[in-house]
Amino acid sequence: MMMGTKLVTLLFILILTLISVPFSAAFHVGVNYGTVANNLPPPHQVANFLKTKTNINHVKIFDANPEILAAFSGTTGISLTVTVPNSDIPSLSKLPKARSWLSNSILPFLPETSIRYIAVGNEVIATSNKTLIGHLLPAMESLASALHLANVTGISVSTPHSLGILSGSSEPPSSGKFREGYDKAIFAPMLNFHNRTKSPFMVNPYPYFGFGPETLNYALFNSIDVVVVDPVTKLNYTNMFDAQVDAVYSAMKRLGYGDVDIVVAETGWPSAGETNQTGVGLEYAAAYNGNLVKHVNSGKGTPLMPNRVFETYIFSLFNENLKPSVSEQNYGLFKPDFTPVYDVGIMKTDQVRLY
Ligand SMILES: *[C@@H]1O[C@H](CO)[C@@H](O)[C@H](O)[C@H]1NC(C)=O
Ligand SMILES: *[C@@H]1O[C@H](CO)[C@@H](O)[C@H](O)[C@H]1NC(C)=O
Ligand SMILES: *[C@@H]1O[C@H](CO)[C@@H](O)[C@H](O)[C@H]1NC(C)=O
Ligand SMILES: *[C@@H]1O[C@H](CO)[C@@H](O)[C@H](O)[C@H]1NC(C)=O
Ligand SMILES: *[C@@H]1O[C@H](CO)[C@@H](O)[C@H](O)[C@H]1NC(C)=O
């Protein structure tokens, strides 16, 4: 009798350990909570849904909407990335403005709302707007100083970039470099900032924008065979996501900053598009995002960055009905009523199903 009870208890503990360890220890996937829609649920419902029904522990928003910041108050375990709108960048390059923005927009919500990053603008280099680009790093510096002066620790400052920051000849991955004219002038000082302030470099890789008829499976993480061999490093690539992230890493390393952390601030795949679009649909979106979640949480990193983990934010939490095109309206993991468009292994119930 005793032996039997002990054995059952031991087995029970073993099973519990097997179930809980891989998840609690290794969930690095977040979502972008975009709100270009007129049918989304109120922020407090969204916060409650994410907390109680999903394993999502990072949420990125495209503004500093006070209603959203308040809604995530007390949601232990979920941390936010808030975004400064591009149009505010020039004024925030002045320290007094950065300090008042911080006092008005962020400090009232601390510490009940957990804020991890302030993203200064979104894909600013891609705007080609010289005023914005010229004020970007000064605004990042001012906000970092403002945080320091307010004695805030635990929030770091960054800015997400599109892959357009790389020069056209960034294939194979080891040849990745920043666009000429931007490398020394923009990225060297920016990476110096990241290295000094221990903040990550944020990039938005989208294999969806990079695939062709021959490379759809490679883009979806569905190739079993090696698809690209980097002739310089002899490393094998089986998916385009790794190749894109490694190209960014090569560009950073070329400037001496290979140790700066990388955060994947956006990536995703639409579940619907125009009728004439190929590679767009539910099964493709489910494949890309599902494989992405597994890949990121495996902790195996990329060929050039083995075993490095990149916090990765899927675009997007919801389908957004006011975006301009059908495909842009259909990046969401969820419909506005919280029903999943498809499941990618982020629901709490998935833990049970996987074992
Ligand atoms: C650049 O951005 C600033 C700030 O948003 C804006 O006022 C200006 O009109 C933009 N310039 C161009 C050429 O678009
Ligand atoms: C920050 O901390 C310093 C020393 O600990 C203190 O003198 C200062 O008043 C604090 N500033 C704020 C804004 O809390
Ligand atoms: C790359 O794949 C080839 C097979 O296609 C294999 O022979 C080679 O050992 C692999 N290289 C590495 C570094 O894993
Ligand atoms: C990055 O920062 C470390 C100190 O944390 C320093 O040793 C290193 O030289 C810096 N890298 C560059 C390229 O400046
Ligand atoms: C697809 O259809 C849209 C209109 O629905 C059209 O504007 C676009 O040019 C078409 N693209 C191709 C590649 O045929």
What's the confidence (pLDDT) of residue 227? 85
Active-site residue 180, yes or no? Answer: no
> What is the pairing mode between strands 115-120 and 156-158?
parallel
59 CB contacts (<8 Å, ≥6 apart)?
Answer: 30, 31, 32, 33, 50, 72, 78, 79, 80, 81, 317
What's the confidence (pLDDT) of residue 354? 43
What's the confidence (pLDDT) of residue 318? 98
The answer to whether residue 78 sits within a structural domain is yes
Calpha distance 290→283 (Å, rounded): 10
User: How many Cα atoms sit within 13 Å of 59 on the Cβ side?
Assistant: 32
Catalytic residue, from 141, 266, 311, 320: name it. 266
352 CB contacts (<8 Å, ≥6 apart)?
Answer: 19
What's the confidence (pLDDT) of residue 350? 81
What's the confidence (pLDDT) of residue 22? 42
Q: Does residue 347's CB lie within 6 angstroms of at least one atom of ligand 1?
A: no
Q: Does residue 151's CB lie within 6 angstroms of at least one atom of ligand 2?
A: yes
Number of domains in the chain: 1
What's the confidence (pLDDT) of residue 169? 75
- CA-based angle 292:168:241, to the nearest 5? 5
The answer to whether residue 50 sits within a structural domain is yes
Which parts of the chain have pLDDT scores under 70? 1-26, 351-355
What's the confidence (pLDDT) of residue 12? 52
pTM for this predicted structure: 0.91
The answer to whether residue 21 sits within a structural domain is no
What's the confidence (pLDDT) of residue 186? 97
Calpha distance 269→129 (Å, rounded): 27
Per-residue model confidence as pLDDT tens digits over 133-172: 999 999 999 999 999 999 999 999 999 999 999 998 778 9
Q: Which domain holds residue 148?
A: 27-354
Active-site residue 123, yes or no? Answer: yes
Query: Exposed/middle/buried for 215, CB within 10 Å: 0-12, 13-18, 19+?
Result: middle
CA of 276 to the centre of ligand 5 (A): 6
Calpha distance 163→250 (Å, rounded): 13
Give the closest residue to 160 by CA, choosing from 189, 117, 193, 98: 117
What's the confidence (pLDDT) of residue 33? 98
Ligand 5 nearest-atom number relative to CA 274:
5
The answer to whether residue 20 sits within a structural domain is no
Query: In testing the pocket of ligand 1, which one of 86, 93, 120, 131 has its CB within 8 Å of the most ligand atoms?
Result: 131
The answer to whether residue 13 sits within a structural domain is no
Looking up residue 260, the CATH number of its domain turns out to be: 3.20.20.80
Per-residue model confidence as pLDDT tens digits over 91-124: 999 999 999 999 999 999 999 999 999 999 999 9
Handedness of CA 35, 38, 44, 50 (dihedral sign): negative
The answer to whether residue 5 sits within a structural domain is no
What's the confidence (pLDDT) of residue 272? 97
The answer to whether residue 136 sits within a structural domain is yes
The answer to whether residue 87 sits within a structural domain is yes
What's the confidence (pLDDT) of residue 7? 52
Residue 192 CA: which ligand is closest?
Answer: 4
